[in-house]
Amino acid sequence: MLRFFILIALLIALIGCGTVGPVQPLLKSLPQAADNATLEQKGGALLLGWDIPTTNQDGSELTDLAGFAIYKSDYDLERGCPECRPPKKLLRKIDLAYYRSNNRGSNRFYLWDSAVEEETGYRYKIVPYTSVGHEGGATLLYRPCFSAPYPPTTVSAQPFDRQVRLGWQAVDEKRQGVELVGYNVYRCSGDDYFGVKPLNSKPIKDTGYDDINLTNGTKYTYALRTVVAIGDKQLESIFSTTASARPQRPE
């Protein structure tokens, strides 16, 4: 009888070994991490930017994205390790529905952080979350915050037919270890505000810029930022004073 029970036990074990494979982790439909994330210094503030993810980590379509949680910490530029200790302090939560209601057609987020200090490094973690509060993949960013350069002065705007010609006084940057890269031009029309991206694709070396293909009779307002490089990082000044013009067809 004992042999019979032993044989039955062995048979059950063999059957079990033939049918049960290794445990496979379940794929979770959690949001993919934010794409194309950037961290820039403009004046005395840092600007985060990132694209809204459209897929989950398992490749399925992301349909229940509710927003983003932004975490922040700082580090010492001389002794700190920017890659170490991902930030855990919540800086802000951004509601996706509210953002889209005020930024129609935009698939990119921007977040200003003015609570920063010069000669200090900052880390950020961007985490998308679902309508039930499940967090997706994290995106980590870090950079130093330096003393910003001065903006250009004596900014002028001269109107022409569908064109405005800008001019300004160059910045004299003499700080050791700081390289003058050029200038960025920003434009708004009517009562709009300046956007976060300049008109020019790369910093302008000269002290003039022609803005073309404009609408005659429309008021355009311009401001500039100086761009410098410190090590491998570029940063911009605060805005210069503004200058406005209305392009007109010559009489």
CA distance 240 to 89: 34
Whole-number pLDDT of residue 104: 61
Show the domain range for 124: 35-145
Whole-number pLDDT of residue 30: 92
Nearest to 48 by CA among 108, 101, 88: 108
Whole-number pLDDT of residue 250: 82
Nearest to 213 by CA among 166, 157, 156, 161: 161
Whole-number pLDDT of residue 102: 64
Residue 133 and residue 162 in one domain: no
Whole-number pLDDT of residue 103: 63
Residue 184 and residue 136 in one domain: no
Residue 132 and residue 43 in one domain: yes
Whole-number pLDDT of residue 29: 82
Q: How many CA atoms lie within 13 A of 224 on its CB side?
A: 29
Residue 175 and residue 138 in one domain: no
**Which CATH number does the domain housing residue 60 bear?**
2.60.40.10
Indicate the burial class of 227 (C-beta count within 10 angstroms; 0-12, 13-18, 19 or more). buried
CA distance 126 to 72: 9
Number of domains observed in the structure of the chain:
2
Q: Is residue 82 part of a domain?
A: yes
Residue 49 and residue 130 in one domain: yes
Helix (H, G, I), strand (E, B) or coil at 72: strand
pLDDT lower than 50: segments of the chain: 2, 4-27
Q: Is residue 223 part of a domain?
A: yes
Residue 72 and residue 169 in one domain: no
Residue 136 and residue 41 in one domain: yes
Whole-number pLDDT of residue 245: 96
- Which segments within the chain are labelled E, that is strand? 35-42, 45-51, 65-75, 89-95, 108-113, 120-130, 139-145, 153-160, 163-169, 178-189, 208-212, 220-230, 233-236, 243-245
Q: Where a domain ends, among 112, 145, 178?
A: 145
This prediction's pTM = 0.83
Beta bridge partners of 234: 229
